[in-house]
Structure 1
Amino acid sequence: MKSDFKFSNLLGTVYRQGNIVFTDDGTKLLSPVGNRISCFDLINNKSFTFSFEHRKNVSRIALNKQGTLLLSVDEDGRAILVNFISKIVLHHFNFKEKVLDLQFSPCGKFFSICCGRFIQVWKTPDFSEDRQFQPFVRHRIYSGHYNDVISITWSRDSRFFISTSKDMTARIFSIDSKEKEATTMTFGGHHDVVIKAFFDKNQEIIYTVSKDGALFKWEYTEGKEDETTSKPSWRITAKNYFFSEAKLKCATFHPQSDLLVVGFTNGEFRIYQLPDFALIQQLSMGQNEVNTVEINKSGEWLAFGSSKLGQLLVYEWQSESYILKQQGHFDSMNCLAYSPDGSRIVTASDDGKIKIWDILSGFCLATFEEHSSSVTAVQFAKRGNVLFSASLDGTVRAYDLIRYRNFRTFTATERVQFSCLAVDPSGEVVCAGSLDSFEIFVWSVQTSQLLDSLAGHEGPISCLAFGTENSTLASASWDKTVRVWNIFGRSQHVEPFNIYSDVLCLAMRPDSKEVAVSTLDGHLQFWNIEDAKQVGDIDGRRDILSGRFIEDRFVAKNSARSKYFTTINYSFDGLTLVAAGNNNSICLYDIPNSVLLKRFTVSLNMAINGTLEYLNSKNLTDAGPLDLIDRDGENSDLEDRIDLSLPGSNRGDPSLRKTRAQIRVTSISFSPTAAAFAAASTEGLLIYSVDDELIFDPFDLDVDITPETTLQVLQEKEYLNALIMSLRLNEVYLIHKVYESIPVIDIKLIVSQIPHVFLPRFLKFVTELSLNNPHLEFNIIWIKALLDEHGMYINSRKRDFISSLRLIQRLLNRTVKEIVKCGNNNSYLIDYFKLSNNIKSTNVEQEDTEEEYEVFEDAEDNTMIVDAEEDEEDAEDAEDADEDEDDGGWFGPNGTQKLNVDAFGSSDDESE
């Protein structure tokens, strides 16, 4: 199995804070998700997350009009410049202040930022300019406001920009210092913070919007001719008010269509037509405030973001329909489960919701809200059409994923909180364990009746697991034992596996012959189920990255808080184990060798506890860390000073009004396709993959594309289906197994039915295998059949097959050398066989025993001929020609080509 996993996508979180940005073509939307940035393709219905990370949560992002440079800034003012097309980080920079707004100029030559009371304008890095020591060169600093500047708006010609501030004013500035007469105006008259200011399409009108719901229209007027002292200035020509009980939170303007979109703190948003101030639509996206709003270039789609619930909406106002409507989990995710085909992931959270995510698109397909408390476990049935969930509300529910409804509800005789779940491979029985009662409850899926309760544990049940081969159930408990149950057996007497520490989680190998457990002392133990013996042990404490909490009085290396794994999972072949816990590391282990293959860092976000090994000593005082001081009372806005939220905690002390999030991985699972694994963490649902695309294109097969089903199809002697499935999974060992299992008599038939889309990959696999494989004749038959059947197609697309054709010529040249060498070494043996068969030969001379054999290709019948009549000079010339592999062929003594690819079925000279 491959181990070169890398981060590929972030699901479960669509928006956290900051602003959202449309690309210039209006088809893609950029959204900050914690310390990362996600991109949603609204046309192709896909999404991806950039691989780079900020040190803290992203506060502002900006994309230039050309769509080539993406600039993002975190809460501390640290910026990252990224090539948006190639997704490569170009430069890191620190503005050393909190950035409240960030905007590129329409021409792309400048970008401006708001830092405190000042506006900084910087030159955009350009490859056409001379190389400079610093990629970011500051053009100028603008001042004039008496409080923090909160927004910047550029004019269409990139000559001017308007800034709004908390001092209830707006000011206009010019990039060119010669145009100062147009920048001496201060836009006053508002009675609250000016949220945003806009130019119209002709740049003759300016609109300013304040927080109290006032919209002022400013027009540029020239001075009168008889008044020599009068100067041109901007004057208020109209005043309009929104008349809403809620405060205005955000606003945006589309100059081409004169559309004004505003969002309020109560979740309401409105669309107005300017300059008439005509209300077009008035809708609500919930009860939480709208933090950001954006409109695309064409003016058709509106994007809204709400950080309270993590909502992201894209609304088409003309048809009054939603293009995108996504929301992440309100609380932390507790568990996850892959569907059997690996195309979907189900997550559950403390908010009682279950969400189904599509891996290819990254979007949520459905949400189940039947549970009234935290959902602790989810699991699919074997066929993938039924989903089971367990919750602390005392119910286990079954969902139909075809009709998307809850069709079964299982309860116990007493009200208990279920903490774990397991489903029988046949789908007939579902089991659940509880932290209240020490029993395992067994229900029938068909009748919803409680069949049995398995007693034997003396502590809370922490984990349950079924194997995929039979109905063997393994259970782990806090009583330091692991028990194996036969659900359908007559006897329920089992011998416990005694563990020397509390068992936190358990996983059963897919073949149901081995079970792995994680203990509180940081060890991973492996037990053979049949013999009830321990067969392996891994000490994971040295591999865990345990960070320091901000309130800790001890260093990270002395911390025993998270030196253990709380979730583990087997790979499909049972040779690899992935483990994670309440720490900042995900460990991938090779089980037979007990070796750590790779360790992944969950997050680099410094705003989360447990990500740093060392703390900055300047933030530590005698009264405690400075970061723990609640500064909300110093905010200028009343709604920011009042905390109306429920106490947020990791199931800890409910008296704490605020807690700092802790980095942890609550659940982890391998994909059935063996190409990825997913981890439910504090940052969201992290997907690590070995391929660029997690889901392959569908093809005409009625079975799921997994290694298990591939081997099952191979056992049924459906060789073509098995070969195509192995090629889609792209696992070398699986392709090799199917390749070696195909009979020689069926090779020609199977080759004739291989689709052209798989031909380059399969031909390359066969040629690479033939160079180091002893089955020379078997491989040559495959190559000949491929060239015979698909020679015309290969000839028409030589560019796609050039590497494979070179490998074929290298193979043939190497084969010629081996045959010539074998003939030279066995010349005396051949003579001995002749004499032993009483073959009489007359006039046998001494030089006959030193004959050189040469293999060449008969141009007429394409057969191998042994010529023993060549002289010694011709044989030496042939061997010298054999050693020349650069020209792709073997040449005879007279310079004629004797061997090429035509000998094995190709109609053209493939050496071209």
Structure 2
Amino acid sequence: MEIVALVALTLLLGALVILVAFAVGKRKEELRVKAKQTSNCVVEAVAEKGPATKKHKQEKQRGRKDKLSQHNFSHPLLASSLKGHNGNVTCFDFSSNGKYLASCADDRTVRIWSTKDFLDREHKCLRVNVELDDAILVRFSPDSRAFITWLANGDTIRVFKMSKNKDGSMSVKAASDDFPLKHKASILNIGIAETGKFIMSASNDTTINIWDLKGEILASINTNQMTNSYAAISPCGRFVASCGFTPDVKVWEVCFAKTGEFKEVTRAFELKGHSAGVHAFAFSNDSYKMVTVSKDGTWKLWNTNVEYKKQQDPYLLKTVPCASSDGSLAALSPDGRVVAISDGCNVAMFNASSGELEEQLFSVHSFNITDLRFDVTGRFLVCSGDKAIRVIHNAPGYRATIRDMQDMLKKAQNVAMKQRLQQQIKDAQSALDAVLAAAVH
């Protein structure tokens, strides 16, 4: 009996050993497969986003590795890519005189670019260091001699003044004092009125602050939209608008006395028509038109040149289906002829009058687009979303101009008008032909 029991015990132990070995082997295989999958994901992520940030002792190697891993984008309408930042570009702005583009990134710098170099192979820029902080928003002053930034860590506005040296170079110096801390939530946008009378800052709660140029609060607006998703000053410098969780855009007028003293902020008008929250909006250069993009999957074009003081509401001109998502941005060309909408890393360009989709640009950046706007001439659409700034030819703008001028030519009655329109059509067609010819090569 003892022998039988010993044999049974031996067999039982042997079976247990076999089961354990099998389980261990299976687990090793699972770990091996999982490790391989993880490795593949890491390789894909590195190929998409570039290598992870190195320690201080490897800082010298970052530049070369970043260049090797930089997201590549090509398109027939791509005019150039401005590359200079070591971090992701969060915002940019054009000076009102059209000569400069200022960009900021999470690399503690602001860079000033010359717009006349956009079509050159080399794009030099002036580097402005932001001490002990990152500038995440930047806006030029109306006279193009200064710019303001929003500090990521300081949660406030810092002013930088620009001046030309005797040798023609430019110097930039930060003001001695930053604006006081006033916002309690994350910042969305800042701006300076073209009139030079006030500065705006908006956060993602329901707050918009109106400042004077010295950093004193003139007024604080509660948008009552549950949360703000975007806010901006109109190009004319009279209005401040915001959108958010509610399906409308609210517009206020910032009023000043004839003597220049601040009076009040009053409600001007609202854009009502979307069926879901509004992601963002943009004005035409004359502030007579606005475009909005919403969670309802449409963009809308509005005529805002109305007598709002007589209770006249803006006119809805066009509703067009489009791809949109959280963070989507809208841009309207200065002449109001072209609408651009961002959706993640992609950009779509539409004819504003017909609503026709004219251009689709996919994977323009490796991350979601952070800023989108036309330059002051309307020749280029510019966007950011990683370390590069993409400058795109506004071919739909040339086409829209040609079509509009041809329609006007049919109605023209005097010779002088016909000749002027014919020359404008010729100039626009030559510009479009040059863009398309460059795209072929």
User: Does the TM-score normalized on the shorter chain lie above 0.5?
Assistant: yes
Partner Cα distance (1:580, 1:429) in 2:
29
Give structure 2 stretches of 5+ with no counterpart.
1-46, 70-81, 164-170, 256-262, 307-312, 420-441
Partner Cα distance (2:88, 2:243) in 1:
24
3-state SS of paired residue (2:373): strand
Q: Work out whether 1:387 is the aligned partner of 2:177.
A: no
Checking the alignment, whether the CA contact within 8 Å between 1:504 and 1:520 is kept in structure 2 is yes
Q: Work out whether 1:672 is the aligned partner of 2:376.
A: yes
Checking the alignment, whether the CA contact within 8 Å between 1:390 and 1:419 is kept in structure 2 is no
Q: Which residue of 2 aligns with 1:492?
A: 266
Partner Cα distance (2:252, 2:225) in 1:
16
Q: Which residue of 2 aligns with 1:430?
A: 199
Q: Which has the larger radius of gyration?
A: 1
Partner Cα distance (2:416, 2:228) in 1:
58
Q: Cα offset for 1:732?
A: 7.9
Checking the alignment, whether the CA contact within 8 Å between 1:412 and 1:441 is kept in structure 2 is no
Q: Cα offset for 1:775?
A: 5.1
Within 5 Å, which residues of 2 pair with 1:397-416?
397-402=158-163, 403-407=171-175, 409-413=178-182, 415-416=184-185
Q: Which residue of 2 aligns with 1:444?
A: 212
- Give the structure, 1 or 2, with the largest relative contact order (CA under 8 Å, sep 6 or more): 2
Partner Cα distance (1:334, 1:287) in 2:
25
What residue identity is the alignment partner of 2:369?
Answer: V
> Which of 279, 291, 297 lines up with 1:504 in the alignment?
279
Partner Cα distance (2:338, 2:329) in 1:
14
- 1:132-152 CA deviation, whole Å, 9 max, x = no partner? xxxxxxxxxxxxxxxxxxxxx
Q: Work out whether 1:578 is the aligned partner of 2:340.
A: yes
Q: Which residue of 2 aligns with 1:682?
A: 386
Checking the alignment, whether the CA contact within 8 Å between 2:189 and 2:232 is kept in structure 1 is no
Give structure 1 stretches of 5+ with no counterpart.
1-55, 60-264, 268-285, 292-304, 312-325, 542-561, 609-661, 692-728, 737-768, 781-912
Q: Cα offset for 1:433?
A: 0.6
What residue identity is the alignment partner of 1:448?
Answer: G
Q: Give the direction of change, closer, same or farther, for the CA distance of 1:421–1:288 in structure 2 (3 Å limit).
A: same
Partner Cα distance (1:512, 1:778) in 2:
27
Q: Which residue of 2 aligns with 1:904?
A: none
What TM-score results when the alignment is normalised by the length of structure 1?
0.32
Q: Give the direction of change, closer, same or farther, for the CA distance of 1:440–1:674 in structure 2 (3 Å limit).
A: same
Checking the alignment, whether the CA contact within 8 Å between 1:425 and 1:470 is kept in structure 2 is yes
Checking the alignment, whether the CA contact within 8 Å between 1:347 and 1:354 is kept in structure 2 is yes
What residue identity is the alignment partner of 1:404?
Answer: V
Checking the alignment, whether the CA contact within 8 Å between 1:565 and 1:579 is kept in structure 2 is no
Partner Cα distance (2:356, 2:125) in 1:
37
Within 5 Å, which residues of 2 pair with 1:542-561?
none
Q: Give the direction of change, closer, same or farther, for the CA distance of 1:502–1:353 in structure 2 (3 Å limit).
A: farther
Q: Which residue of 2 aligns with 1:368?
A: 129
Q: How many matched pairs?
A: 324
Q: Cα offset for 1:432?
A: 0.5
Q: Give the direction of change, closer, same or farther, for the CA distance of 1:413–1:344 in structure 2 (3 Å limit).
A: closer
Checking the alignment, whether the CA contact within 8 Å between 1:419 and 1:462 is kept in structure 2 is yes
Partner Cα distance (2:350, 2:132) in 1:
36
Q: Give the direction of change, closer, same or farther, for the CA distance of 1:668–1:458 in structure 2 (3 Å limit).
A: closer
Q: Cα offset for 1:330?
A: 3.5
Q: Which residue of 2 aligns with 1:288?
A: 59
Partner Cα distance (1:501, 1:414) in 2:
27
Partner Cα distance (1:675, 1:493) in 2:
34
Checking the alignment, whether the CA contact within 8 Å between 2:201 and 2:210 is kept in structure 1 is yes
Q: Give the direction of change, closer, same or farther, for the CA distance of 1:309–1:527 in structure 2 (3 Å limit).
A: same
Q: Work out whether 1:535 is the aligned partner of 2:317.
A: yes
- 1:623-675 CA deviation, whole Å, 9 max, x = no partner? xxxxxxxxxxxxxxxxxxxxxxxxxxxxxxxxxxxxxxx54322111111222
Within 5 Å, which residues of 2 pair with 1:731-750?
none
- 1:402-426 CA deviation, whole Å, 9 max, x = no partner? 2411226323445543221122111
Within 5 Å, which residues of 2 pair with 1:52-67?
none
What TM-score results when the alignment is normalised by the length of structure 2?
0.62
Computed over aligned residues only, the root mean square deviation of the Cα atoms, in angstroms, reads: 4.0
Q: Work out whether 1:306 is the aligned partner of 2:64.
A: yes
Counting helix residues as a fraction of each chain, which structure ranks higher? 2
Checking the alignment, whether the CA contact within 8 Å between 2:251 and 2:267 is kept in structure 1 is no
Question: Percent of aligned positions with the same letter in both sequences?
Answer: 16
Q: Which residue of 1 aligns with 2:356?
A: 595
Checking the alignment, whether the CA contact within 8 Å between 2:138 and 2:148 is kept in structure 1 is yes
Q: Cα offset for 1:457?
A: 2.1
- 1:85-142 CA deviation, whole Å, 9 max, x = no partner? xxxxxxxxxxxxxxxxxxxxxxxxxxxxxxxxxxxxxxxxxxxxxxxxxxxxxxxxxx
Within 5 Å, which residues of 2 pair with 1:209-248?
none
Within 5 Å, which residues of 2 pair with 1:498-897?
498=272, 499-529=274-304, 530=306, 531-541=313-323, 563=325, 566-583=328-345, 585-603=346-364, 662-682=366-386, 684-689=388-393
Partner Cα distance (1:345, 1:310) in 2:
26
Partner Cα distance (1:373, 1:460) in 2:
25
Q: Which residue of 1 aligns with 2:88?
A: 332
What residue identity is the alignment partner of 2:159?
Answer: A
Q: Cα offset for 1:778?
A: 9.1
Q: Cα offset for 1:308?
A: 5.5
Within 5 Å, which residues of 2 pair with 1:443-462?
443-445=211-213, 447-462=214-229
Partner Cα distance (1:450, 1:355) in 2:
29
Q: Give the direction of change, closer, same or farther, for the CA distance of 1:511–1:774 in structure 2 (3 Å limit).
A: closer
